[in-house]
C-alpha cells in the first residue's frame, strides 16, 4: 500500500478575495471546483502548474466569523526561483508577516491569516 499527497485544505470566508490573492501572490490557478447543489459550499482546487499537489479552498455559505487558527503553527511552503523578486512583490502587497534572514526565509499571510512560507530554490 502506498500513499501520496493529494491536496491541503484551507477554509476561507471570502472566496473571490482568496482566489485573487493566491493568483497574485503565488501564481496559483484554479484547476477545478465543486459547488453544492443547494449552494451551501464551494470547493476550489488551485495548482501551481508544475506539481500535482493542490490547495483546496473551501467556502461555506453559512460561515460568517473568522476561523480560529489557534497559534497558527502550521503552514504551507512554496519554493521560488527568484527569491529577491518574490520578496519585493510580497513587500509591495503588504502581506509579509514574518522574516527570518538567518534562515533565508519569510512568511506571508493570506486574507484569512494562514501562513505561507517562501523559500529560495535549492541550487
Residue 67 placed within a domain: no
The total of other beta-carbon atoms located within 10 Å of residue 54's CB is 19
In tens, the pLDDT along 28-42 reads 999 999 999 999 999
Sequence-ordered list of residues with C-beta below 8 angstroms from that of 90, at least 6 positions apart, any chain: 25, 96, 106, 108, 118
Q: Do residues 107 and 62 lie in contact, with contact meaning Cβ atoms separated by under 8 Å?
A: no
Please state the domain count of the chain: 1
Residue 104 placed within a domain: yes
Residue 109 placed within a domain: yes
Q: Identify whether 117 is a catalytic site residue.
A: yes
Residue-range definition of the domain harbouring residue 88:
7-62+72-120
Residue 2 placed within a domain: no
Q: Do residues 108 and 95 lie in contact, with contact meaning Cβ atoms separated by under 8 Å?
A: yes
In tens, the pLDDT along 1-30 reads 887 889 999 999 999 999 999 999 999 999
Give the global pTM: 0.92
Phi-psi region of 17 (alpha: psi -120 to 50; beta: other; left: phi over 0): alpha
- CATH number of the domain bearing residue 43: 3.10.180.10
Amino acid at each position: 500500500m502506498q500513499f501520496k499527497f493529494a491536496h491541503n485544505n484551507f477554509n476561507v470566508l471570502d472566496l473571490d478575495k482568496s482566489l485573487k490573492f493566491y493568483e497574485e501572490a503565488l501564481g496559483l490557478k484554479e484547476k477545478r471546483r465543486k459547488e453544492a447543489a443547494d449552494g451551501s459550499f464551494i470547493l476550489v482546487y488551485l495548482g501551481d502548474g508544475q506539481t500535482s499537489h493542490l490547495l483546496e479552498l473551501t467556502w461555506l455559505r453559512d460561515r460568517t466569523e473568522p476561523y480560529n487558527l489557534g497559534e497558527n503553527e502550521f503552514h504551507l511552503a512554496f519554493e521560488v526561483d527568484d527569491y529577491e523578486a518574490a520578496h519585493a512583490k510580497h513587500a509591495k502587497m503588504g502581506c509579509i508577516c514574518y522574516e527570518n534572514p538567518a534562515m533565508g526565509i519569510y512568511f506571508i499571510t493570506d486574507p484569512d491569516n494562514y501562513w505561507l512560507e517562501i523559500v529560495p530554490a535549492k541550487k
